[in-house]
A and B are shown apart, each in its own frame.
Chain A
Amino acid sequence: MHIVTFTRSTPDTAAKVEVKADGAVSWGDVATVVNPWDEYSLEETLVQAKNTSGKSTVIAIGTDMHNESLKFALAMGVENAARVQADGMEMTDSLAWATLAAAAVKKVGDVDLVIFGKESIDVSSDAHIYQTARKLGWTMLSYVSKILAIDPVAKTIKVEKVVEQGKQIITAQLPAVVSVMKGINEPRYPSFIGIRKASKAVIPVWTPADLGTALPGQTVQLVSYSNLPPREVKTEIIDGASPEEKAAKLVDKLLEEKVL
């Protein structure tokens, strides 16, 4: 079985991200990391490829900034990588992204399963995942907390998924697109040998034309990014002679604020 996973490079989670005077988003000289949710999808790709004696391919869509996350994936042990270069595409246009993603999966060919991390933190959205499934015409299994079984011959999959009200066990037909939650596994660290091998890897670049597709017309316009309005907050430290006195004063304040 051949499993494809997608990843992206995003600013380190501890980075301070801000919008400069010219409107550009900047995180200074802080390094990018693999999109934090993708650590789990990369690990799950490796686990499921091993369990099914299958193959694995990782794909990123965007500028060469994303080579970093592709190399991280290779260092973890994913076998093949490719990058789709799409000039003029903003990831905020999830439909354009998904159109290219689906075309890339078709180019890889013999794929039965695509695994995503729960969302992409830069756009703070998961829409591109569902839209990729739809553009492929495949079953979508979202918020998966466990892959319980895959039968590559019968082409079936059984998963546990998390919904607001609890957990569900779902069986479905392959091919499928799966998005996985944090906690589904314990992501491995890339090995030293893996890192060395990945650093030398030459990652093929595909254009929309190579995928036999064209970028669809833009449906969502990115107007601007802006910094968060500062939290106008004046902190009041509750004083008192004892924890009980402080508790009573704090409850007074909370009742005044009408939040209870």
Chain B
Amino acid sequence: MSAVFVWVETFDGQLNPSSREALAAGKTLADAWGVPVTALVFGANANAIAQEAGQYGAQNAVVSDDATLSDFRLEPYAALLTKLVQEHQPNAVIAVATSRGRELLASSAADLDAGLIAEAIDLSVDGDGVQATKAAYAGKLVSKLALKTGTKFITIRGRAFKPLDANAGASVTITTVAAALSEDQIPTRIESTELQVGKVNLGDAAIIVSGGRGMANNPKAAPADGGDASIWKAKDGFENMLSPLANVLGGAVGASRAAVDAGFIPYEHQVGQTGKVVNPDLYIAAGISGAIQHQAGMRGSKLIVAINKDADAPIFKMARYGVIEDIYTFLPALTAELKKRLGK
């Protein structure tokens, strides 16, 4: 027991910025136990990324830039993580609960029969153990869980922990290791990757602007050959009214389940119980009534603004600021005002 491991996620030879949150959470535990933070960096450009991890809390780094690790694949990554944990017996392994972080830590914990807590929003040290708080029942409750012995595997929810300020003078001691699997031992092949360029990911977004069923009340006339008129109107609203507002704010576009199920916008934008759980600094709910399923996905937001023409919409009870207006009247005015005030 001599370190806290933090898996530093990379993509395309770059550090995934949310990994700084894992380094900060790891450092809090490491300081309490009086042990160093060791960053684990796998993939292309690992040495440079390890140096960057050093600026955000890691004292040591274990890197491997073997070609089999250049793109994330679960099997070679988990095999190497499991091997490193067996060799070093760290107190804990921490990562952000991104799609990759979740499956990587869960897999390695299973290999080692070690305890795992997924998507922690708060951590505290209890002797050699850790207690963590996480959402339960789709965000309607919280549960407190404890890991007592052995290496403790913990993923943290994105944006739940604050990264440390960069320390440009910090140095990091790097050890290079070989991959644990050779290419012919890996059962998966990535045939192609289609990147979504320029879109802000809901999970990382500091600001989210979401539209609901009210998006169908677009006063524009739908073209006769445009198919279902309310779908056309809502799609036009997401594209030409909500997206420009999100762009001015540097935010992401979200949607309620009602809007997704009605075919207004693809599923990856859904916020709520069967969509994404988000916790931005600012959440603007436009034409969303605020069903309990939606609340479960956004109630962790720091500040909520609700815009709805129905003064009785339940969303107003959660909002710090409410505007009782038709969204198609109000949002263009808001976008224009923000452009002016933010100098864009």
Q: Main SS of chain B's interface residues? A: mixed
Main SS of chain A's interface residues? mixed
Q: Mark B245-274, 1 if CB is under 8 A from A, else 0.
A: 000010000000000000000111010011
Interface pair A248/B323, CB less than 8 Å apart: no
Q: Assuming the A-B contacts A13-B274, A94-B116, A259-B303, are A251 and B338 also in contact, with contact meaning beta carbons closer than 8 angstroms in the complex?
A: yes
A-B contact count (CB 8 A): 260
* Shortest distance from the beta carbon of B80 to any chain A beta carbon, whole Å: 14
How far does the Cβ of B264 sit from chain A's closest Cβ, in whole Å?
14
CA of A202 to CA of B312 in the docked complex: distance in angstroms? 48
| Structural contact, A13 and B318, CB atoms closer than 8 A | no
With CB as the reference atom, state the residue of chain A lying closest to B322. Answer: A237
Give the chain A neighbours of B165 by CB distance below 8 A: none
Smallest distance from the beta carbon of A119 to chain B beta carbons, Å?
A: 9
Interface size on B, residues (CB 8 A): 91
A216 at interface by CB-CB < 8 Å: yes
Q: Given the complex, which residues of B lie within 8 Å of A183, measured CB to CB?
A: 266-267
CB pair A219 B147 closer than 8 Å: yes
CA separation between A226 and B133, bound complex, in Å? 10
By a CB distance below 8 angstroms, the chain A residues around B302 are: 259
Interface readout for B275-309 with A: 1 if CB under 8 Å, 0 if not? 10100011000000001110000010011110000
Give a binary string over A213-239; 1 marks a CB under 8 Å from any B CB, 0 the rest.
000100111111111100101111110
Contact A165 B11 (CB under 8 A): yes
Tell me which of A10, A14, A124, A139 contacts B135 (CB under 8 A): A124
CB distance from A53 to the nearest CB of B (A): 24
CB-based nearest A residue for B131 = A223
**B318 contacts across to A, CB distance below 8 A:** 231, 233
Query: Which residues of A lie under 8 Å from residue B194 when comparing CB positions?
Result: 166-168
The answer to whether the Cβ of B111 comes within 8 Å of any Cβ in the partner chain is: yes
* CB within 8 Å of A: which B135-154 residues: 135-148, 150
**A90, chain B: closest CB distance, angstroms:** 10
Q: Is the CB of A250 within 8 A of B334?
A: yes
Contacts known (A171-B188, A182-B267, A260-B342); A19 close to B325, Cβ less than 8 A? no
Residue pair B145, A222 in contact (C-beta under 8 Å): yes
- Taken together as a complex, chains A and B put the C-alpha atoms of A131 and B102 apart, in Å, by 11
Q: Which A-chain residue is minimally distant from B292 (CB atoms)?
A: A14
Contact B109 A131 (CB under 8 A): yes
A13-B138, A172-B187 in contact; A235/B110 too (CB < 8 A)?
Answer: no
Most B CB contacts (10 A, CB to CB) among A37, A158, A220, A233 go to: A220
Which listed residue, B146, B189, B341, touches A255 by the CB 8 Å rule? B341
Establish whether residues B188 and A141, one from each chain, have CB atoms under 8 Å apart when the complex forms.
yes
Query: Which segment, of B26-34, B44-52, B195-203, B222-230, faces chain A?
Result: B195-203
> Which of chain B's residues have a CB closer than 8 A to the CB of A94?
106, 116, 118
Q: Complex Cα distance A131/B105, Å?
A: 10
CB of B178 within 8 Å of the partner chain:
no
Shortest beta-carbon distance, A32 to chain B, in Å?
12
Which residues of A sit under 8 angstroms from B116, Cβ to Cβ?
94-95, 127, 131, 219-220
CB-defined contacts of B177 to chain A, threshold 8 Å: none
Contact present for A170 and B102 (CB under 8 Å): no
- The residues of B with any CB-CB pair to A shorter than 8 Å are 11-12, 74-75, 78, 98-100, 102-103, 106-107, 109-111, 113-119, 131, 134-148, 150, 187-196, 201, 203-204, 207, 249, 266-268, 270, 273-275, 277, 281-282, 291-293, 299, 302-305, 316-325, 329-330, 333-334, 336-338, 341-342
**A-B CB proximity, top 9 nearest:** A219-B115, A134-B110, A131-B110, A130-B106, A127-B106, A183-B267, A223-B144, A121-B138, A259-B282
Report 9 cross-chain contacts, Cβ distance below 8 Å, ordered by A residue.
A17-B141, A95-B114, A124-B277, A173-B188, A221-B146, A221-B147, A233-B317, A246-B330, A247-B330
